[in-house]
Structure 1
């Protein structure tokens, strides 16, 4: 599918006004957009844009977080089991878990925060400001960002909920984001625009189930990571 064809389909979708979500919950907007565009996956091939393009859909003015990518390999400075046992909590089902969103400017309820070490090009996860738990190479994270989100077609929608509690979307704005930058990404980490989501628990066997540490951002802040923005597409 070419970029012109995608934009043409988006324009027709905009003309339809509000349409009901095809799936309940937070993922309904992305699923509905893909279905209405006739797409089977969010990462699509667009030959006239030079390859793969990530499609992102968002509710206008949403403050919810979306995952940019996950990266977990070789970052933990202490065993993950100890991380869960020491900093985690007991869930209602009785298992010990650590599902924790971590920002740079403040410590969260578990005493965790992230710090950007520009001199050593590291992003560090720390407890009480100085106890090192995990460490990422910033430029590996940047390379993940560029490979995953080198080009993003970002589609926004107004939303409403019917009397029958069905969410509806009016997809009415689209713009193309190109060239994510290391400078923008690092600044976003420092400014608490980008956060780290730890997602793991202990299984009955006492082994760790890690769902992948996610690098996340508010939907409305994604453009701050990119050098170029092409607006007015629909």
Structure 2
């Protein structure tokens, strides 16, 4: 024993022991982190590390030093005893300290780099995930806390809702799960429950997790097809995922482009078998998973992209006039019936936005104020129109843009109250007009733009008839909802009133807004990694 531990290794063990003893004296957990770090960083067995720590404990106990009470005292010869005392007394000045510290620090740094690279790679290709970190105690007791990020992911993916789950074993849910790595793909199960003790904190446990993960490993959870897929970011390099994603998109789009008949493209399911046949046949469990995941997540987007490329081969004739003409023309060409639903336009999954050129603003969503909020003075669009509208021919209108940067010609402007998380529309003389809560606006953005195609088109007029040439599409997913209010505050996102009373008198009031808008060039400020595709 005294011969096979180098000075650098012994110093690392003594320093870990000292920190463990300090924590033990305060009643805090001590062995979980440091014990396992020694095993992994020094590449030694648990038995070897435990024996060394027991010998250190014996030497320090003999010298009346602070020790760990529940650690057995080991048998130690005089030579090894002298080395332990020298390391303990010299501390950071010991000959081997710098080398040992560098070795451990480098190992930990390499792990962090690997985890960060894997996180960036998954995010770049649109794989949503949550991270959990098992502890020694958790692995030993088969208990994992379902942390807030995990619970949020489960709720967003409609996988499980802990808030509606009762406490106790009778309410426990068992669902499918899989361990995925560069050389493994094994099926397991996950238990989801809330114990009767305390407040019933949400818990989970994966059968066989001890063989898949070590304490402090960073484990990513991906929800797919009502099952959980676990990826160990600390032990596997998944950096190749991005290139595989691009290859899979090529295969998907190639399969779609082989369909010459437009009506066949509408039935995307007809392409699934052909699509799967073209996936790379590599003996890699991760690639196998990615092929199924990306096809499921991107098949509708790829189908829509191919349709747009087909209809972009020739100009589309306008079906109406005004700002909405281009959107109506594209939806008609795609076979989408006109409706006033708040759901996304294409198959209820993808919102379609369009405009004439890059300078035009695009509508993010329509959202009426909180008419009953005590900070607002007006209780309806008709009330707002009465006080701030203007006469135009036979109609009475309020068509204007509202921004935080300055008051408009009607004296209206925005103020964002960060402390109360309220967006307040004000008048430069009359004060508060109406109010939106930040939560309402963020939820509306997420509801409307979980996935969006922003189409750029060029307008031409031939014989007094307007035509649209489709140029490109920007594909976005999952907006950065926490950036919405800061962008409104900065004047990047604005709002349009479109209120009108036809004919005056007591005629009914129509309200097409309020419409919250953003310029296309600013989309990257609200949506991560937009993908731009040429249509011609």
Q: So what's the TM-score if we normalise by structure 2? A: 0.38
Question: 2: distance between equivalents of 1:20 and 1:79?
Answer: 41
Give 3-state SS (helix, strand or coil) of 1:153's partner.
strand
Whether the 8 Å contact between 1:101 and 1:195 is mirrored in structure 2 is yes
Residue number in structure 2 paired with 1:7: 305
Give 3-state SS (helix, strand or coil) of 2:349's partner.
strand
Residue number in structure 2 paired with 1:87: 388
Query: Are residues 1:126 and 2:423 paired?
Result: no
- Report how far residue 27 of structure 1 moved: 2.3
| Among candidates 489, 512, 522, match of residue 190 of structure 1 | 489
Question: 1: distance between equivalents of 2:378 and 2:333?
Answer: 46
- Report how far residue 222 of structure 1 moved: 4.0
- Report how far residue 65 of structure 1 moved: 5.3
Residue number in structure 1 paired with 2:366: 69
Residue number in structure 2 paired with 1:140: 440
Query: For residues 71-104 of structure 1, what are the alpha-carbon distances to aligned partners after superposition, in whole Å with 9 as ceiling and x for unaligned?
Result: 23425423446544433333432x6543332111
Question: 2: distance between equivalents of 1:122 and 1:66?
Answer: 21
Residue number in structure 1 paired with 2:474: 175
> CA, structure 1 residues 176+161, in 2 after alignment: closer, same or farther (shift >3 Å)?
same
Residue number in structure 1 paired with 2:465: 166
Question: 2: distance between equivalents of 1:32 and 1:96?
Answer: 29
Aligned length: 225
Question: 1: distance between equivalents of 2:435 and 2:424?
Answer: 4
Query: For residues 118-149 of structure 1, what are the alpha-carbon distances to aligned partners after superposition, in whole Å with 9 as ceiling and x for unaligned?
Result: 11101001111781111110121110111112
Computed over aligned residues only, the root mean square deviation of the Cα atoms, in angstroms, reads 2.8
Unaligned ranges ≥5, structure 1: 46-50
Whether the 8 Å contact between 1:68 and 1:145 is mirrored in structure 2 is yes
- Report how far residue 173 of structure 1 moved: 1.0
Residue number in structure 2 paired with 1:114: 414
Question: 1: distance between equivalents of 2:362 and 2:474?
Answer: 19
Question: 1: distance between equivalents of 2:461 and 2:500?
Answer: 35
Residue number in structure 2 paired with 1:48: none
Larger Rg: 2
Question: 1: distance between equivalents of 2:397 and 2:319?
Answer: 32
Query: Are residues 1:43 and 2:342 paired?
Result: no
Query: Are residues 1:58 and 2:355 paired?
Result: yes
Higher relative helix content? 2
Residue number in structure 2 paired with 1:231: 532
> CA, structure 1 residues 232+86, in 2 after alignment: closer, same or farther (shift >3 Å)?
closer
Question: 2: distance between equivalents of 1:96 and 1:172?
Answer: 37
- Report how far residue 178 of structure 1 moved: 0.8
> CA, structure 1 residues 56+156, in 2 after alignment: closer, same or farther (shift >3 Å)?
same
Higher relative strand content? 1
> CA, structure 1 residues 173+144, in 2 after alignment: closer, same or farther (shift >3 Å)?
same
> CA, structure 1 residues 231+82, in 2 after alignment: closer, same or farther (shift >3 Å)?
closer
Question: 2: distance between equivalents of 1:23 and 1:209?
Answer: 22
| Among candidates 395, 404, 408, match of residue 104 of structure 1 | 404
Question: 2: distance between equivalents of 1:213 and 1:22?
Answer: 22
Question: 1: distance between equivalents of 2:326 and 2:425?
Answer: 32
Q: So what's the TM-score if we normalise by structure 1? A: 0.80
Query: Are residues 1:155 and 2:455 paired?
Result: yes
Give 3-state SS (helix, strand or coil) of 2:336's partner.
coil
Unaligned ranges ≥5, structure 2: 1-267, 269-299, 339-343
Give 3-state SS (helix, strand or coil) of 2:530's partner.
strand
Give 3-state SS (helix, strand or coil) of 1:8's partner.
helix
- Report how far residue 232 of structure 1 moved: 2.7
Whether the 8 Å contact between 1:57 and 1:154 is mirrored in structure 2 is yes
Whether the 8 Å contact between 2:461 and 2:467 is mirrored in structure 1 is yes
Question: 2: distance between equivalents of 1:229 and 1:44?
Answer: 19
